Amino acid sequence: MLIQNTFDKICGLTDITYLFKDGMSIMFGGFGGIGTPPGLVNLILDSGIKELTLIGNDTGFPDIGIGKIVTEKRAKKIIVSHIGSNPNAGKYMTSGELEVEFSPQGTLVERMRAGGMGLGGILTDIGLEEEIVNSDKQTVTLAGKSFLVETALTADVSIVYAKKADPYGNLIFDKSARNTNPLAAMAGKITIVEAAEIVPLGTLDPEEVVTPGVFIDHIVESKGVDWQWVWE
Amino acid sequence: MGLGVEVRHKIARRAAMEIKDGMLVNLGIGIPSLVPDHLPADHTIMFHAENGIVGMGKSPDLGKEDAHLCNAGGYPVTLQVGASYCDSTAAFGMIRKGLVDVTILGALQVSESGDLANWIVPGKRVPGMGGAMELAAKAKKVIVLMNHREKTGSSKLVKNCTLPQTAKECVHMVITEMGVFSVLADGLLLTDLFAPFTIDDIKKYTEASFQVSDTLTVYRE
């Protein structure tokens, strides 16, 4: 079916290569590589950019998801909740090649959401007494309760994966591959979605749209994953 | 680590007794993942996954895996009837708001006041806390399943955690291959004993101080 590019958002990978630069911050959707856009990960690798700050749930596996970029030593800093499934991340952290900021998972994703929602940060009591979380952070007392101030997260570019996108960028996701994608989608200064399927405007039921297209700048069609899942 | 299949299932079976119909339950990896094997077939318990599933079911049959339907460890699962998906903020909102009735997880150390250390061995293993802090701090009931001792022989039930804590005074119950402890306001209470272990065995291998329940349940093989 011919899809009209009504909003000029649908493009090829070569059309958006110019967006990727050394030293930039990139937020990514996905959880253990599931729901991380494979074509955009490869585009970042092929573009040769380095010194990146990566923001997302975890570092995937060595050859899966964002893990590929970490493995290739393209990141100088990562803001994540978990690196356990990617031994390379731990190795580079120990050798001093990679700066790692750990954020508790629920706090991390709420910081991403706050960034996308135009907020300055969030208040939470998670990690209030744990040094790895509370060091160098402000605490506030509200109605007699203490909270940590956790800053919002945004990024120069967000990359997300969706099941379907229409030409405006309205998105629906695929089962548990939704995970952090709707949050990353909102928090990028520029957001690129890689969709398994691009559908004509008007074919997504407005009630089922998870991410409104206004958050999306560029839409590319996915060719699927080029990695093998851990359970395969 | 080091526990045989039967022992692992013994621990999981005891943990399953703490779960009731209608509860929302989050299970960690390892022995906790065996708990559903010990629930009645017609239960109405919903399983929660941090990656955005309420109503997570068993592993799929071989060949029926869906790469986009996985648990928080990245392995394929199925759905329970009545399941829903959500994004990660909602998955953690449920935890922080106290909607997860029970979380069953592993541990490196538990202190006699219920402090939990389960995510970092400084200088050795630094995987990141993932969602452990939220689950430990906010689930209504936190049940730890673990080996009673380290491979080196030292007790994992300690007076004070020497490893960085995940959350303070959060653990409600500890189940090991030797017995079951409840964490009460005035310390640990041994409530269940797995024979052939004896109370003396447990005293010998436990650093933390504990009381023995007047109504101690003894399980014999």
Interface size between A and B, measured as CB pairs under 8 A: 137
Locate the domains of chain A by residue range: 13-119+152-221
Q: Are A90 and B127 inside 8 Å of each other by CB?
A: yes
Identify whether the C-beta of residue B147 lies closer than 8 Å to the C-beta of residue B176: yes
Q: How far apart are CA A123 and CA B87, in angstroms?
A: 20
pLDDT at position B132: 96
- Tokens coding A31: 């959880």
To the nearest whole Å, the CA of B56 is away from the closest chain A CA by 10
pLDDT at position A122: 98
Q: Is residue A100 helix, strand or coil?
A: strand
- Given a cut of 50, whether residue A213 has pLDDT beyond it is yes
The pLDDT of A86-92, averaged and rounded, is 97
Instruction: Name beta bridge partners: B210.
Output: B188
Q: What is the mean pLDDT of chain B?
A: 96
Closest partner CB to A178 (pick from B65, B87, B131): B87
- Given a cut of 90, whether residue A229 has pLDDT beyond it is yes
- Which chain B residues are Cβ-neighbours of A93 within 8 angstroms? 126
The pLDDT of A74-97, averaged and rounded, is 97
Mutate to test the interface with B, among A179, A197, A230 (most CBs of B within 10 A): A179
CA A100, A104, A110, A111 torsion-angle sign: negative
Q: Are A82 and B126 inside 8 Å of each other by CB?
A: no
Helix B88-96 crosses helix A105-116 at what angle (to 10 degrees)? 120
Residue whose tokens read 């909003």? A7
- Given a cut of 60, whether residue B1 has pLDDT beyond it is no
Q: How far apart are CA A105 and CA A80, in angstroms?
A: 8
Q: What are phi and psi of A88, to 5 degrees?
A: -60, -40
Identify whether the C-beta of residue B204 lies closer than 8 Å to the C-beta of residue B178: no
To the nearest whole Å, the CA of B113 is away from the closest chain A CA by 15
Is residue A1 very low, low, confident or very high in pLDDT (cuts 50, 70, 90)? low
Does ipTM exceed 0.90? yes
- Which chain B residues are Cβ-neighbours of A58 within 8 angstroms? 128, 130
Contacts of B171 (CB under 8 A, 6+ apart): B107, B110, B114, B115, B116, B136, B142, B143, B144, B183
Q: Are A61 and B74 inside 8 Å of each other by CB?
A: yes
- Given a cut of 90, whether residue B89 has pLDDT beyond it is yes
The pLDDT of B190-206, averaged and rounded, is 97
- Given a cut of 90, whether residue B125 has pLDDT beyond it is no
Q: What is the mean pLDDT of chain A?
A: 97
Q: Which domains does chain B have, with CATH numbers?
A: 5-219 (3.40.1080.10)
- Given a cut of 80, whether residue A18 has pLDDT beyond it is yes
- Given a cut of 90, whether residue B221 has pLDDT beyond it is no
> For domain A13-119+152-221, which architecture applies?
3-Layer(aba) Sandwich (3.40)
- Given a cut of 90, whether residue B2 has pLDDT beyond it is no
The residue that leads in pLDDT, B29 or A31, is A31
Q: Residue B127's closest chain A neighbor by CA?
A: A84
Catalytic annotation present for B6 = no
The pLDDT of A130-152, averaged and rounded, is 97
